Amino acid sequence: GGEVLRGVDLTVRPGERLAVVGPSGAGKTTLSRLLAGVDAPTEGSVTVGGVPVVALGPERLRRQVVLVTQEHHVFLGTVRDNLLIAEPAATDEELWAALAAVGAEEWVRELPGGLDAELGAKEGAHAADGSQAQRLALARVVLADPHTLILDEATALLDPTTARHTEQALAAVLKGRTVIAIAHRLHTAHDADRVAVMEGGLLTELGTHDELVAAGGAYAALWGSWHGEPSAGY
């Protein structure tokens, strides 16, 4: 965090999957926070459907644009409490449907009390592991039903087996939504509709994977050196 963005001009199309790549400190996280309305720009504006994000108000914005990061907060309280944060009016039926959509229904049904099971570290509560916490976060996304998702490469910190399961759940959640993925791995960029390359707070390249490889610039150099493998610092 704390990087300064200078003159980033970017229009994301509805339903598009955009990957944002670049070295650590290039401004990727700052961009994701601005897009999600977590931070307000000091100049210029971030708009959703033509309306400035800061003018939407937190309630409305939370339902339209959701930021999924590597920090998956499980809040104290029951499974139900953890899900109703996203959609306070949801019925139990809708909660189960959201859990099923992300592959979390089975383990919640096995908890004593199901939706009423207490989560957290205290005695008698269920301490959710990384994969479970992540799926609860994704179930919240399903309930909030935003049109745009900003993804800070949410599976980067998980072990490969967990990541595979979570990626399947993630794929189900992403379907039909506009997705801006802050990509730490190249296959995310390869699979996106367009790729934005950030360097030193500037947007330096924008195009499809094939266009950028053909252009022979920064992205092409990354692709050449990575061959699809993650690299330290990205």
Largest pairwise CA distance in the chain: 58
d(CA 205, CA 44): 20
The structural architecture, per CATH, of the domain 17-226 is 3-Layer(aba) Sandwich (3.40)
Q: Read off the pLDDT of each residue in 124-152 and give the average, rounded to a whole number.
A: 87
Closest to 139 (Cα-Cα) out of 184, 183, 77, 74:
74
Domains of the chain by residue range? 17-226
pLDDT at position 229? 46
- Give 144-169 pLDDT, tens digit per residue: 898 888 888 655 555 666 667 777 78
Across the chain, what does the average pLDDT equal? Answer: 81
Of 26-40, 73-87, 89-103, 136-150, which range is least confident? 26-40
Does the pLDDT at position 50 exceed 80? no
d(CA 82, CA 134): 12
Contacts of 100 (CB under 8 A, 6+ apart): none
- Give 53-64 pLDDT, tens digit per residue: 666 666 666 667
Does the pLDDT at position 8 exceed 60? yes
Q: What is the pTM of this model?
A: 0.76
Does the pLDDT at position 133 exceed 80? yes
- Give 190-223 pLDDT, tens digit per residue: 889 999 998 888 888 999 999 999 999 999 998 8
